[in-house]
Amino acid sequence: MDRFYVTTPIYYVNAEPHIGHAYTTIVCDVMMRFHRLMGETTFFLTGTDEHGDKIVQAAQAAGVDPKTYADRISGLFRQTWPKLNIGNDKFIRTTDPEHIRVVQDVLQKVYDAGDIYFSSYKGLYCVGCERFYTERELVDGKCPDHDKPPIEREEANYFFRMSKYQDWLIGHIEANPDFIRPERYKNEVLAFLREPLEDLCISRPVERLSWGIPLPFDRKYVTYVWFDALINYIAAVGYPDGPVYRDFWPVVQHTIAKDIVKPHGIYWPTMLKSAGIPLYRHLNVHGYWITDEGKMSKSRGTVVRPLDLVPVYGLDAFRYFLLREMVFGLDASFSEDALVQRINADLANDLGNLFSRTLAMTAKFFDGKVPPFGAEPDGMDQDLRASVDQAVRQFTEEMPKLGFHKALIGIWECISAANKYIDHVGPWNLAKDPGMLTRLQTVMRTLLEVNRTVAVLVAPFMPATAEKMLERLGAGKKALDVRIAEDARWGSLGEGTPVQKGEALFPRIESPAKKTEKPGTAVQAPKPAAEKKAPKPEPEPAGIIDIDAFRAVDLRIGLIREAERVPQSEKLVKLLVDVGEPGESRQIVAGIAKTHTPADLVGKQVVIVANLKPAKLMGIESHGMVLAVRDGQDLKLIVPEAKVTPGGRIS
C-alpha cells in the first residue's frame, strides 16, 4: 500500500501561533487529505521546538521558568490546530523524553563516526537566529531575518564536520532534481554550496545556557537548537526500529517557509548522512505572507492571528483563501479585502450559487430526489462532463507537484462551466414542457453529478464544506473517508436518493472598509488636486504613423512563469515571463495587482512590448510592458485567442 508522511517544521515557542504557522500547517493538512483521498495511508506530524536562548529570554520577560513558559505556548499551538480542522497524527515537543533520547542517540552516532570535534570559535552571533553568521550572509552588516547587527562572541564548543559532506550533498541534489522544491530553492541551496561549507557549531556551554539537551559525551554542554529540533522528524515516528519509522520515514516530505531552507537543506541531510540514516524524499519550501507593513514577522510585530479571522469569515473560507491566493514557493499578499473578494466571488457567487440552484431545482422538479439519466446526453452535457474530467485530471496531476492554486483553478473552471450550462439550458423552461421530461432528468442528474465531484475535489481544502455538500446530496461521509476512485465516479449518486436544499454554503460578506462606516455617514468626494502654477498643456492628438514606425515596436507573446506581489505596493506585480529567449525568462513589473492575483496570472499568455527601455519601479527593474485595456473599473489583459509558442512576434 502506498504511504505518505508529511511534516511541518516544529514551531518555536517564543511567540503565539500566527498566519505563517497556520499556512504551513494547513498546507500539510491539505497534502495529507489529498493522499488519503487517493487511497494512500498517511502520517502527519507537527509540534513545537522548545529549547535555546530565545526561549530563556522570552520566559524571563514573562516572569516564569523556561519549562512553564514552553508548556503554555506549546499548549496554544496544540489547541489552535483542531480549531483549523488540522488532522495531524502526532504532536511532538522537543522536551518530550522520547525526543531527548533520540537526539542523544544520534549525537553519539555522529560522534562515534568521528564527525564531532572540540574547538574554539570567534564569530558574529545572532541571538534571534541562535547561530553564527559569516560576513557574506549579512545584509548591510545585519541579520537578514531580524534586521539587527549580530554580536561578536567567542566560545569553546563542539563542531560537526559538515564540510566533509559538501561534495556529497551537491551530488545528491543534482542527481535528485525534486529533492528541494520548487526549483528556485534548490538553486539557492546549490548557490550556497558553491562556497566552502564551514563546520557547524553544535553546542552551547551549560554555564551560559542550561535550557537544552545535554550532549551524551560531555554534560558540560547542551545541544545547539537546530541539531536538537531537526531530529524530531525521526524521533516522532519511533527511530530507530519502530514500525511507523520503518513504514513512513522513506517517503517523508518536510514542508517549511523559505527562511529555514539552510538548516533543512544543508544541516539536516548532512546530519542524516553522518548518522547513517536514509534521507527524506522532498523538502517543500513556500514563500512569505506580505502585509502592508512588509513581511509577516513575529519579531517585528507584523502578524495576523488566524483565530481572529476564522470567527468572522469562516474556517473553510480562510483555508481556501490561503491555498488559492499563494502560488506555492512565491510570496503572497494578505489583506482582509482580498479575503472578502475571494469569499464573495469564488465561494458565494460560483460554488455556493451552483450548489443552491442545483438543489433548489431538484426539490422543485423532482420532489427533492435524484432523478435517473433520461434522454441521451447531448453536446452540452458531454462538454460539461469533459470539464469535470479535466478538473479531476488537473487536480490529480497538480496536487502532488504542490500546484494547489492550479488544482483549484481547474475545479473552479468546472464550476463556472456548470453555472453557464444552467443559464444556457434553462431547466425551468424544460420543466414547462411535459415532452421534455427525460431531457430535464438528464440535465438535473448531470448537475447533481457535477456537484458531487466538486464536493470530493474540494474536500482536502474545505473538509467541512465537502461534508455538508455530500450530506445534502444524500452521500454523507466524513471528509477523511472520501476516496476519489469511488466517490468522484460519474453516476455514483443513487437514483431516488433524497437531497436537501438549505441555507447558502457561503453568504456574501461586506468588505472590512464598509463595516467600519457608521450608518448614515455621507461619503465625501475626494478633494480636487491643487492647481499647479504652470499646468502642462494638453497633449496633441495621436498622429498617423507609417508601417516602419509600427515595426519598430517589438510586440511578442509571453508566457507568465512566475508572479508575486511587490511588497509595499497596492498595484504592482513582479512577473517572470517566457518570451522565447533561450535559457531565461524576462522580469517585468506590471501595475495589475488590483485586478489580477499572482495565482491567476501564472500560466497565462499575454502580449508584451519586448523592446521597451528598462525602468525601475519600486526599486525593481522591469524589462518590458504587459499590454492591457481599461474597461470601466476593470483592467483586461490582451491575450491570444489560442495558445501559441512563447516569443511569437505580433505583426
The Cα 560–Cα 565 span in angstroms is 14
367 is written with which cell numbers? 420532489
Pairwise CA distance, residues 135 & 167, whole Å: 23
Cell numbers found for residue 113: 563516526
Q: Is residue 21 annotated as a catalytic residue, yes or no? A: yes
Give the three-state DSSP class for 87: coil
Closest-CA residue to 565 (of 337, 334, 331, 293): 331
Would you call 143 a catalytic residue per the annotation?
A: yes
Exposed, middle or buried, 561 (CB in 10 Å: 0-12/13-18/19+)?
A: middle
The interaxial angle of helices 166-175 and 183-193, nearest 10 deg, is 160
Query: Rounded distance, CA 418 to CA 427, Å?
Result: 13
Identify the active-site residue in 90, 142, 146, 164.
146
> In terms of Cα–Cα distance, which of 37, 17, 180 is closest to 91?
17
Q: Is 35 noted as a catalytic residue in this protein?
A: no
> Is 109 among the residues known to form the active site?
no
What are the distances in angstroms from CA 14 to CA 18, 57, 76, 531? 12, 9, 12, 53
Q: Burial of 184 by CB count in 10 Å (0-12 exposed, 13-18 middle, 19+ buried)? A: middle
Q: Which of 298, 364, 420, 477 is catalytic?
A: 298
**Per-residue b/e over 485-498, b at no fewer than 16 CB within 10 Å?**
eebbeeeebeeeee
Find the catalytic residue in 28, 51, 109, 129: 129
Q: Return phi, psi of residue 383, to 5°.
A: -65, -40
Residue 295 falls in the annotated catalytic set: yes
Backbone angles phi, psi at 418, to 5 degrees: -70, -40
Cβ proximity of 176 and 265 under 8 Å:
no
Query: What angle in degrees, to the nearest 10, is found between the helix axes of 315-325 and 19-37?
Result: 90
Catalytic residue among 28, 143, 201, 414: 143
By CB neighbour count within 10 A (0-12 exposed, 13-18 middle, 19+ buried), where does 281 fall?
middle
Distance of CA 104 to CAs 144, 232, 602, Å?
31, 12, 46
327 touches 562 (CB < 8 A): yes
In angstroms, rounded to a whole number, what is the distance separating the alpha carbons of residues 502 and 58? 49
* Active-site residue, from 262, 295, 477, 604: 295
Q: What are phi and psi for residue 317, nearest 5 degrees?
A: -65, -40
Q: Is 201 a catalytic residue?
A: no
Which of 28, 35, 109, 126 is catalytic? The answer is: 126
Residue 129 among the catalytic residues: yes
CA atoms of 208 and 221, how far apart (whole Å) = 9
For 20, phi then psi, to 5°, come to -65, -45
> Which one-letter amino acid corresponds to residue 186?
K
Give the residue numbers annotated as catalytic, written as ranges: 18, 21, 126, 129, 143, 146, 295, 298
